[in-house]
Amino acid sequence: MHKTFFVFVIANVSCPRCRHMFSVDLPDTNRKYRTCCPKCRYEFDVGGVSYQAPPMPPPSMYGMPQPPAYMYGPPRKMGFFEKVKGFMFSPTNTFNNAKSDTLSESFKYFIILLLIYSSLSAAMMSAQIMLIGFISEEIFGFPVYGFPTADVLIVKMFEAFIMNIIYGIIGVFIGGAWLHLWVYVVGGRKGIAQTIKSCMYSATPSYLIGWIPCIGFIGSIWSLVLNVIGIKQLHEISTWRAVAAFILAVLPVIIITIVLAVLLYVWVSGFTGGI
């Protein structure tokens, strides 16, 4: 009488997307099996002819946000729309996945967002100009600013489109460099590229809904929160350190603005004799 024994190999694997570690039972290590990450629900294959179960890590490694790259390989690259969805609704895991992105890859993503925002913002500006003209004509009997011709309106839209792109590119690099100064002060040591990447990726909600009147400010607030998360994840520092970096970056700007406003008030008061 022969007895058949089934031997299951328990392999410790890491999700290619979110880097979450979990165990998988492999009845046959020569076959591939489809598994699903219990954290982000991403499906991928494990096992195979050349598959060798990685060594079981020590207990101190459990709970680490990112296992060693030499053991499990780099994370899978995400597409544009996948990144948009991730940064909007799952920023922590998406920023973890974007750690290996180069600055040029982040810049391509940023440029696409900026082109979308600039186009929609220019179209919204032209619509507002026409709406103001129609409303003022109904109230006063004539348009306040006059109805612009089609040629003038096209030129204004093109100017707004180009200026948004120029200001966006210059702003993300200058703002990123200024922010990195304070990130370095609070302990961030992963390089200026990671800070600029955080600024580029965190612009996602601002550029997607920032062109909409009345609710555009929600996108700006959302982008600020995402930037804090991005600095925390990409520089691997605590949340409080990331928040402190933003406070230190904004505080000098506020102080300089207040000083300039006071000086302007004193200068104007000198000509008007005070108020």
pLDDT tens track for 9-58: 677 888 877 777 888 777 766 777 778 887 777 777 887 644 444 454 54
In whole angstroms, how large is the CA radius of gyration of the chain? 27
Is residue 273 helix, strand or coil?
Answer: coil
Between CA 180 and CA 235 the distance in angstroms is 10
Cα–Cα dist 98/188, whole Å: 17
31-35, 67-71, 105-109, 173-177 — which is least confidently predicted? Answer: 67-71
Residue 38: what pLDDT?
78
Angle, vertex CA 34, rays to CA 65 and CA 70, nearest 5: 40
Average pLDDT over residues 206-212: 93
**61-101: per-residue pLDDT in tens?**
444 444 444 444 555 678 899 999 999 999 998 998 888 89
Phi and psi angles of residue 34, each rounded to the nearest 5 degrees, phi first: -90, 125
Q: How many residues does the chain have?
A: 275
Can you give the pLDDT at residue 51? Answer: 46
Query: How confident is the model over 106-125, as a mean pLDDT?
Result: 94
Kindly state the percentage of the chain with pLDDT values over 70: 76
The pTM score is 0.69
Q: What pLDDT, on a 0 to 100 scale, did the predictor assign at position 9? A: 66
Q: Is the dihedral of CA 129, 160, 204, 239 positive or negative?
A: negative
235 token code pair? 């520089």
